[in-house]
Structure formats: C-alpha cells, structure tokens
Chains A and B, each alone.
Chain A
Amino acid sequence: MLSGYDLALDYRTGGSVAHAVDNVNLAVDQGSFVGLIGPSGSGKSSLMYLLSGLKRPTRGSVTFEGRDYHGIPAGGLMRLRRQRFGFVFQQHFLINYLSALENVMVGAVRRNHEVAAYGQELLRRVGLGNKLEKRPYQLSIGERQRVAVARALVHNPAVVFADEPTASLDQATGREVINLLADYRARGEGSLVVVTHDPAMLTGADRVLQMRDGKLSAA
C-alpha cells in the first residue's frame, strides 16, 4: 500500500553532503504496524517525512496505493496528508484557545454531527470523555498527547504516522498512547508507522526496522 524504493535524502551543509536517508526500500502493508527504531540522528524521522510526503526525496520514489508521489503536485500531497494520513508528533501541538473536542475536530476532513460524535467517541476511548470542553492548559501532558492521538484518528486515516509520540511522556503514559494507536490498527482501520528510540514501545509491532546512519535493517 505504501512503499519506498531506493529512497535517499541528502542535506547539503556547507561543502559537505549528509545522507539522512540512504538507499532505503520499505513497504508498509495495509493494516500493518511498522516500527522504526534507532538512535537520534539516524534518519528515522526523515524517512517518515519522505513516506508521509512532508519532504520530497533526493532520489528514489514513494508510492501510496499505486500512485507515485513524483506525479502528485504539492497541493495533491497536502490533500493526501489531510485526507488519508494521520500524524502524532513528539509535541501535542494542540491549539490553546480550542477545547479538547475542538482540537480533535481540527483533524476532521468533514465536519458534521456524525464526525463530531465520532470525535467524542475517540476522546472517550482515550479516557477523556469527561474532559471534552477542557482547554489544553487544563489537561496533563499525557492527556494532551491522547487528544493529539484522537485528532490523528478522527478522519479514519489509511496510515497513521507517529514520530516519537512517547518521547515526552513517562513510560506508563507512553505505553497508553502506543496502545491507543495499536488499537486503531487492530480494529483494521489503518496502518501504523511509529518512529521511536524506545524498543519497548514497539512490542505489538508486525515489523520493527532499525535505522542507522540513514540505512535500514531488520531489528
């Protein structure tokens, strides 16, 4: 469903070239849970940016449902991210002046009563059913990240990309967040690509791949 072929991403800094992603081949099957682990600077986040269309590769290609990103203009990639992908980042990036439910609805593609009800259902599932109207500053860090997970899922994305979603959380809370994402995958609603430096968070993954110096290998 989502594949990368001979992917490379180079950064030019001064006269030298840094290979953030170096000749990577990867396929994420529908409904699968793929974990990417590696130390800081190994290129795992860069690979995620390439797969999600946030960055264009220096070389190689990415296809999603058979369409090569090369053939999709910038606007098309935006729509793809907006409609088919979900994102969870290390920081929650919640909008401060919106309630928990409204923040979830920021991720919705269509806004109607059904979607709003689904947003509420998601917040209930992540344990925030009684905090729908709370503002981000009224929630704990873990609660905020759970709202961010609900926001990533509200439009039923085909692939959820999670980039270090537990890095700023304690172990237990991090585990809860991963479980929420895994649960989404388990219900067959989408694939999951999780980037982390903590192998403990990938215990339920179908495949765990190791990134080191931009290269990919099986963990």
Chain B
Amino acid sequence: MGNPLSLWHFYFRNKRKVLPVIGILALAILGVVVTDSLLASARETAYATYGSYQKLILIAPRATRDQDLANPLQDSLAQLHEVQLQVDVLDGPGGLSSYYAAVTAIPARIQAQLPAMARLQTDAANARYYAARLRGDLVPLGDLIVRVQRLQSEEKAFEQLVQQLAQNPNDPRPLLTYLQQHQTLLRTVLPDSAQLGRLQAAVTSASSDAAGLQQSLQAMSRDTANLNSAGSNVADLPIPPSPSATIDQFKVALDHLTASLGSIQSPQPGLEKLVADSARIPGTAFVKRDAYSNLDINMLAGQAQFDLYGFDQPGMAQLLALYGDRVAVGRLPRADANEIAISEEIARSRQVWIGGKLGNNVDELDRLPDAFTVVGIIRGPTRIGLIPLDYMTEHYLFERRYQGLVVVPQTGHEQAVHDQLQALIGDSAFRLFDWSYIKAKIDSLIANLDVINRFLILLVTIVLALVVGLLNNLFFRQRMNEFGLLAAVGYSRWGLILRVVWESLGVTLASWLIGVGLGVAVLSWFNISFIVPHGLLMNVFDWNVLLLHTLPIPLMVFLFGMGTVGWQLLRLDPISIIERRD
C-alpha cells in the first residue's frame, strides 16, 4: 500500500479534472512553439536568401529601372512631336506634294523642249519616294508615343491611388481595384528591348531617308533655277519650296531623338571609373562588373526578390570559391547564353531543376527578362544565383544602363573598404548595399511581426494564467474539506502547501513537455512537407523557442495558481471547516 496522498494518486484519480487543464496549456504552448518557429523560420530564410551579402558589397545605380526610364522617354516624346511637325510642314500646303503636282502639270510640249525638265521630274519622284519612306519610318515612333502616353495616364491613376490610400490607409480596396484594372496595362506600358531595337532602326532609316529627301529637294531647286534661267517661255513654272531649312530642322530633331533613345541603353555615367577606382582601394580582394537581376521567391512571410549576379565566367568561379559553394549538378552558364545556375534551395523554391526555365516569361514578378534555362544547381553554405554578364548587356539594352559592380573586401578590411567606397560614390548616381544594410531591412520587417507575436504570447499567458488560476481555485475550494481535515489531524501547513506546489508543478510541467513535444512533432511534419521542398529554412529544435519562449506560460500559470491557492492555505482555519455544517 503506497501513500494515498501521493501525486500519482492525485493525478490518476483526478484525471478528468487534470487532463483538460493539461490539454489547454499544452495547446497554448504548441501554438507558441509553432508561431514562434515560423517567425524564426521567416527570419532565417530571409537571412539565407540574402546571405551572399555577408562577404561582398554591391554598388548599383541609385535610380530604379522605372524611374530612370521616365526622363529619356519624355525627351524622346518631345523630339517625336517635333519630327512629326516638320514632316507635316514638308508635306503640307505649299510643300512637296503641291510642288510635285505643279511640276507634273507643266504641258508636255514645254517638257519636250526642255531636257532639264526631265531631270526635274526624276528628282521630284525621288523626293516623293523618300517622303513616303519617312512616313513609314515614323510609324514605330508613333507607337512609342502611344506607350508613353499610356505611361502618363498610369502615373495619374497611381497618384489618385496614393491620395485615396493617404486619406484612408486602412481601406485596401482602392489598391486592389487599381491592381486589378491596371495589371495588364502596366505590362504593356514599358517598351521592351526588341521594341527599342526596332525604334532605333526606324530612327536610323528615317535619318538616311531624310538625307535622301534633302538631296532630292536640293536637286529640284537646282533644276528649277536652271529652267527659270534657261527659258522665259516657262514663266508659269511655280517656285518650289526651299527645303533646306525644313530638312535641317528635321535632322536636328532626329539627332535629338537618337541621343535620347541611346541614353536608355548606355551604362550609367561614371561606371568605368568607379570599377577602376574600387579596384585600387586597399584591402579589396576583387571587383566585378555586375548585370544583376532578381528572381521572385516565396519567403513564408511574403514574396521576396532573390538577387542574381550577372558576372563574367572567371567572376562566377571566384564568387563560388568565396563562399565555398560548388556546382553540384550541371555546369555554370556559358558566355553569351541565356542560362542560369542557382542554389538548390532556390531551385526547390521555384520548383525547377536542370533544363527548367526562369524569367519574366515564366513568372511576371521575375526581374530576369524573357526566359533563362537552368543549367547548374549550386550547393554550399550560401545561396547564389549566376547569369552571364555579356548576355545580359548585349541582348537586353536596358541592362547596360543598370549595370553595377560587386566589390569583395579581404577578410578584416570590410569596414575600411566600405567606408572608402562610400566616399568614392558620394552623391553620384550609385548607391551601396552591404550585409548590415540588408540585415537591418530584414530585421525591421520582422520586427513588426516580432512585436505582434510577443504581444500575443503575453496575452495568451495572461488569459491562461487567469483561466487556469480560476480553475485551480475552484478545484481547491472543492478540496477544502480535504485540506481542513489534514490540517486538523496534524498534517503541517507547509507540508500541505508543498503538496499543492507539487501537484500544480506536475500539471504545468506535463503541459509544457507535451506542448513542446507536440510542437516539435508538428514542426517536423511541416518542415518535411513544406519548408524543405520550398527551399525555406526552419530549425525544428530551436531551443531558444522551445524552452525560453514557451516557459512564461507554465511559469505564470503556476505562479498565479500557486499564489492564490497558497495564500488560502496559509490562512486555512481547520476548526472553521470542521464546524461547517454543509
């Protein structure tokens, strides 16, 4: 016969009262373990996604692609308007067509008498030919005008959206409406590289056609002057328009257009010098030009852009060596090929493998144009994505403008190199990204979730402490006779308090262990079924989460429950219980 007042008897005989309390506490602890681990997972995945910044500094153009396109496009639009006006003047009343009509209307008798007239007719025909070509050249330019006008209307709609959101920040409906209505339109607004190429060809063609037209018109002028001086019998021959001034203005407008279009595809001014100056900074291991791009990936707490490095072939090998990564499957991208090598986790995240496709054609949120073929899977401690520099700059004219550079400091020289780079950049069109910047960004994003999570844990702890404390008190009141009797027959007061402490401690400890155990089980399942297949990171056995973050719940519940019950036990008067007649 064991001790009838043992904890075993208490728990086993009161299981219908004890188990629900253990269940409630264990579920709450399970909730804390899961939410806390997911939050930690989001942070760890974000750190890993941008982990390549830990050993390098990226210097990129300050302006975004969209911002930087706006000015050249606006310039091009103004120049196109100018070109169209000049074409209208040339072809309008008193212009080329009316002169051609006048020339062809000269009686055939007179034309036969004057050989120069035949040349004039040939030159007039040439002028009409060039004018027709010129109108054809302007068609794609007109398309650009339409696109820019769309861009402008988008800007207006966006401004309206900003105003609506500023007035009522908690109402997401205007944003959703805007995104739904303008998503497709937005995709059509910005010109792609092929269109830009066609535009440039049209400008070149327009320029040479304009030169041909100019020559033809000048020949017509000479022919007319010769005819006028040769015979007074052709007095009714009209004076042709003087084309030179018009054509000169037209060519100036075309030159402006060519220059503004060209600025879209040139590297940012100062890039070459920055590369050279950076390489001379003491403590720099190596410097590489970088036509960087991004892939859209899921990060559990939302989407993120995974940075791809657009390097030359030696640069790719250097970057892998820097992090101790290696190509586990396939190979590195070839020069001038639309190929990509990515870390295994990123491949899993995007559900691709060797031969798979990535890029804007596959996922519209990718900053990688068109479609790139996955040729290599990288394994190692750091997540990396590599694309060929030359392919990016030769095939995507915009990418020339958004080239940056990567500077890798030697170990121990990180801060010095960072400071010198910062001084070198100054107020130029470039800005600097390093690990401390990236980490601060990640932390600031997670910090809000962290505050919410901590608040929830606090709330759950307080509510549970109150609920379980009250249940404890109710249970204690039901057992008042038991404690009264034990005190009367000689059980010590502190012995009784210690007994209740053990009872309560056992319940909270069991809840804690069960909650944490369930948490580990749920997280392990989630890790295998979702986290790993999606290239995310989760530490199932994060002792900081499992032990420290869950401890406040059983601790508070225990302290609150014991505080109230212990106080009543200390004040317990056994005689008043014995004399109770209920």
Which A residues lie at the B interface, using CB under 8 A? 45, 49, 54-55, 75, 78-83, 85, 87, 89-91, 93, 95-98, 101-103, 105-107, 111-113, 115-116, 119, 163
Q: Is the CB of A93 within 8 A of B10?
A: no
Q: Is the CB of B489 within 8 A of A55?
A: no
Q: Is the CB of A93 within 8 A of B491?
A: no
Give 28 pairs: A residue, B residue, CB < 8 Å, sorted on A. A75-B492, A78-B490, A78-B491, A80-B490, A81-B490, A82-B489, A82-B490, A87-B488, A87-B489, A89-B485, A89-B488, A91-B578, A93-B481, A93-B482, A93-B484, A93-B578, A95-B485, A97-B9, A97-B10, A97-B13, A98-B4, A98-B9, A98-B13, A103-B4, A111-B3, A115-B1, A116-B1, A119-B1
User: Which residues from A are CB-within-8-Å of B10?
Assistant: 97
Decide: A54 near B9, CB < 8 A? Known: A106-B4, A107-B489, A116-B1. Answer: no
With A and B bound together, what is the CA distance between A32 and B244 in angstroms? 146
Q: Is the CB of B581 within 8 A of A54?
A: no
User: Which residues from A are CB-within-8-Å of B95?
Assistant: none
Which B residues lie at the A interface, using CB under 8 A? 1-5, 9-10, 13-14, 481-482, 484-486, 488-492, 574-575, 578-581
With A and B bound together, what is the CA distance between A1 and B204 in angstroms? 129
Interface centre among A55, A78, A80, A81 (most CB of B within 10 A): A78
**Top 4 closest pairs, chain A to chain B, by CB:** A82-B490, A116-B1, A81-B490, A102-B4
With A and B bound together, what is the CA distance between A133 and B485 in angstroms? 21
With A and B bound together, what is the CA distance between A86 and B5 in angstroms? 18
Q: Is the CB of B481 within 8 A of A105?
A: no
User: Which residues from B are CB-within-8-Å of A91?
Assistant: 481, 578, 580
Closest to A55 in B: B575
Closest to A49 in B: B575
With A and B bound together, what is the CA distance between A96 and B483 in angstroms? 12
CB distance from A73 to the nearest CB of B (A): 12
With A and B bound together, what is the CA distance between A79 and B490 in angstroms? 6
Decide: A78 near B492, CB < 8 A? Known: A89-B578, A90-B581, A106-B486. Answer: yes
Other-chain contact of A101, B1, B481, B485, B575 (Cβ < 8 Å): B1
User: Which residues from A are CB-within-8-Å of B581?
Assistant: 90
With A and B bound together, what is the CA distance between A49 and B579 in angstroms? 11
Q: Is the CB of A93 within 8 A of B4?
A: no
With A and B bound together, what is the CA distance between A163 and B578 in angstroms? 10
User: Which residues from A are CB-within-8-Å of B578?
Assistant: 89-91, 93, 163
Other-chain contact of B574, A54, A82, A102, A107 (Cβ < 8 Å): A54
Other-chain contact of B5, A79, A82, A106, A119 (Cβ < 8 Å): A106
User: Which residues from B are CB-within-8-Å of A79?
Assistant: 490
Q: Is the CB of A111 within 8 A of B1?
A: yes
Q: Give the A-B contact count at a CB cut-off of 8 A.
A: 69
Q: Is the CB of B490 within 8 A of A45?
A: no
CB distance from B5 to the nearest CB of A (A): 7
Closest to B581 in A: A90
Decide: A45 near B579, CB < 8 A? Known: A98-B13, A111-B3, A116-B1. Answer: yes
User: Which residues from A are CB-within-8-Å of B575?
Assistant: 49, 54-55
CB distance from A154 to the nearest CB of B (A): 11
With A and B bound together, what is the CA distance between A30 and B339 in angstroms? 106
CB distance from A41 to the nearest CB of B (A): 11
CB distance from A131 to the nearest CB of B (A): 16
Interface centre among A45, A80, A95 (most CB of B within 10 A): A95
With A and B bound together, what is the CA distance between A91 and B582 in angstroms? 9
User: Which residues from A are CB-within-8-Å of B579?
Assistant: 45
Given contacts A93-B485, A106-B4, A106-B486, 11 further A-B contacts (CB under 8 A): A55-B575, A80-B490, A81-B489, A81-B490, A82-B489, A85-B490, A95-B485, A97-B14, A98-B4, A105-B3, A119-B1
With A and B bound together, what is the CA distance between A101 and B2 in angstroms? 11
Q: Is the CB of B488 within 8 A of A54?
A: yes
User: Which residues from B are CB-within-8-Å of A45?
Assistant: 579
With A and B bound together, what is the CA distance between A105 and B4 in angstroms? 7
User: Which residues from B are CB-within-8-Å of A106?
Assistant: 4-5, 486, 489
With A and B bound together, what is the CA distance between A113 and B574 in angstroms? 30
User: Which residues from B are CB-within-8-Å of A116?
Assistant: 1
User: Which residues from A are CB-within-8-Å of B485?
Assistant: 89, 93, 95
CB distance from A167 to the nearest CB of B (A): 9
With A and B bound together, what is the CA distance between A79 and B493 in angstroms? 12
Q: Is the CB of B2 within 8 A of A111?
A: yes
With A and B bound together, what is the CA distance between A112 and B4 in angstroms? 12
CB distance from B488 to the nearest CB of A (A): 6
CB distance from B490 to the nearest CB of A (A): 3
Closest to B10 in A: A97
Interface centre among B10, B484, B490, B579 (most CB of A within 10 A): B490
CB distance from B257 to the nearest CB of A (A): 94
With A and B bound together, what is the CA distance between A81 and B490 in angstroms? 5
User: Which residues from A are CB-within-8-Å of B4?
Assistant: 95, 98, 102-103, 105-106
CB distance from A166 to the nearest CB of B (A): 15
With A and B bound together, what is the CA distance between A113 and B485 in angstroms? 24
Q: Is the CB of B1 within 8 A of A105?
A: yes
User: Which residues from A are CB-within-8-Å of B5?
Assistant: 106
With A and B bound together, what is the CA distance between A91 and B481 in angstroms? 10
Closest to B478 in A: A96
With A and B bound together, what is the CA distance between A54 and B488 in angstroms? 7
With A and B bound together, what is the CA distance between A175 and B482 in angstroms? 26
With A and B bound together, what is the CA distance between A160 and B323 in angstroms? 85
CB distance from A184 to the nearest CB of B (A): 16
With A and B bound together, what is the CA distance between A119 and B2 in angstroms? 13
With A and B bound together, what is the CA distance between A116 and B492 in angstroms? 23
Closest to B484 in A: A93
Closest to B494 in A: A75
With A and B bound together, what is the CA distance between A111 and B2 in angstroms? 7
User: Which residues from B are CB-within-8-Å of A102?
Assistant: 1, 4, 9
Closest to B491 in A: A82
CB distance from A212 to the nearest CB of B (A): 19
With A and B bound together, what is the CA distance between A45 and B3 in angstroms? 31
Interface centre among A55, A91, A96 (most CB of B within 10 A): A91
Interface centre among A45, A102, A105, A107 (most CB of B within 10 A): A102
Closest to B2 in A: A111
With A and B bound together, what is the CA distance between A93 and B491 in angstroms? 14
User: Which residues from A are CB-within-8-Å of B3?
Assistant: 105, 111
Closest to A120 in B: B1
With A and B bound together, what is the CA distance between A106 and B486 in angstroms? 8
With A and B bound together, what is the CA distance between A113 and B3 in angstroms? 11
Closest to A113 in B: B1
User: Which residues from B are CB-within-8-Å of A112?
Assistant: 1
Closest to B577 in A: A93
User: Which residues from A are CB-within-8-Å of B9?
Assistant: 97-98, 102
With A and B bound together, what is the CA distance between A49 and B414 in angstroms? 83
CB distance from B321 to the nearest CB of A (A): 70
